[in-house]
Structure 1
C-alpha cells in the first residue's frame, strides 16, 4: 500500500533558476523554513549519487532522514528537466520527483511525493490505513509551503 500526492506551482522565473534552487541542497535550509539542517554526505555538484541528511521538525519532533539523488536530468534550452530523490526511514520508502517545465514565460514546477511500506507488517499496514491519510495531509501542507518558498527564491534570482 502506498500513498502519493502531486503539487504544481507556476513560478515567474526561467527553468534554469528554478532548477538552481531545487538542486541547491547545501542552501536548502536557508531557502526552506521547514528544514532545520542539512549535512552533505557527498562532495561535488548535484547529480545521481549525491547524498545528504536532512532534518525537519514534523509534528513537533525533529526527524533526520538520509536522502539521495536517484535520477537527474537538468533542463536545457526549452527541454524539461526532472530529478528524483529517494529516502528510507524505518520500514518506509519515500520518493520525491521534481519536474521543471517552461510555460507561459515562466516555469511549472511539479512535485510528486510518494510513501510506501517496504517491509509491511500486519500492524504497519493497519497503522498506514488508519493514519496514512492524516500523514499525507500534513506532508502535503509542508510540501506546498516548500514549493511556495522555492518559487519565492527562484523569482528573486
Structure 2
C-alpha cells in the first residue's frame, strides 16, 4: 500500500521530523512510546522499540533501518505478524519549499495463523493500515509547520 502527502516544508526539514525517533510520541498521535536500541545518529542500523495503538490497544514492535539515503529515502523493517517493510521517500515538490512524502508499506509471511487472520480480517487490516499511515503523514505535516 502506498500513501503520499505534500508537505509545506523542504525535504531537509521533513527528514529531521521523520528521523527524530525519540520525539515520535510527541509528533505522532498513534505512537505512545519509543526506545532507541542501537544507533546514535539516524541511519542504516538504527533500531528502536515503538509502541502504537493501531487497533485501540498497545502493540510494541522493534524496528530497524535497513537502508538510508539522507535526506530522500529510508527503509524500516520489523516483524509484526509477518515481515513488515516501510519505505519513506521524500521528493522535492514542484513548488519550491514543499516535499512530496511517499510512504509504501508491505507485509509478507508470518505464521499460518497470522496469514489466515489477515485474510479473514482483510478489510479491517487495510483500514487500520490506511488510518495509521494517513495520520502519520498529517502529523508530520503538522510537526514541520510547528517547527518553522
| Alignment TM-score, normalising by the size of structure 1 | 0.86
Partner of 1:94: 84
Query: 1:1-45 CA deviation, whole Å, 9 max, x = no partner?
Result: xxxx11111011011000000111111111001000001102410
How many residues get paired? 145
- Structure with more strand by fraction: 1
Deviations 1:112-150 (A, max 9, x none): 01111244x2x4443222213321211111110110010
1:71 aligns with 2:67: yes
Structure 1 residues 130, 20: closer, same or farther in 2, change over 3 A?
same
2:11 alignment counterpart: 15
Q: Give the 4+ runs in structure 1 shifted more than 4 A.
A: none
Name the structure 2 match of 1:154: 144
Deviates more, 1:52-61 or 1:9-18: 52-61
Structure 1 residues not aligned, in runs of 5+: 76-80
RMSD value over aligned CA atoms? 1.4
The reply to whether residue 128 of structure 1 matches residue 118 of structure 2 is: yes
Deviation, structure 1 residue 69: 0.2
Q: What is aligned with 1:110?
A: 102
Structure 2 residue matching 1:46: 3-state secondary structure: coil
- The whole-number CA distance in structure 1 between the counterparts of 2:74 and 2:114 is 29
Distance 1:107 1:45 in 2: 23
TM-score (norm 2): 0.91
**Structure 2: tracts of 5 or more residues without a match:** none
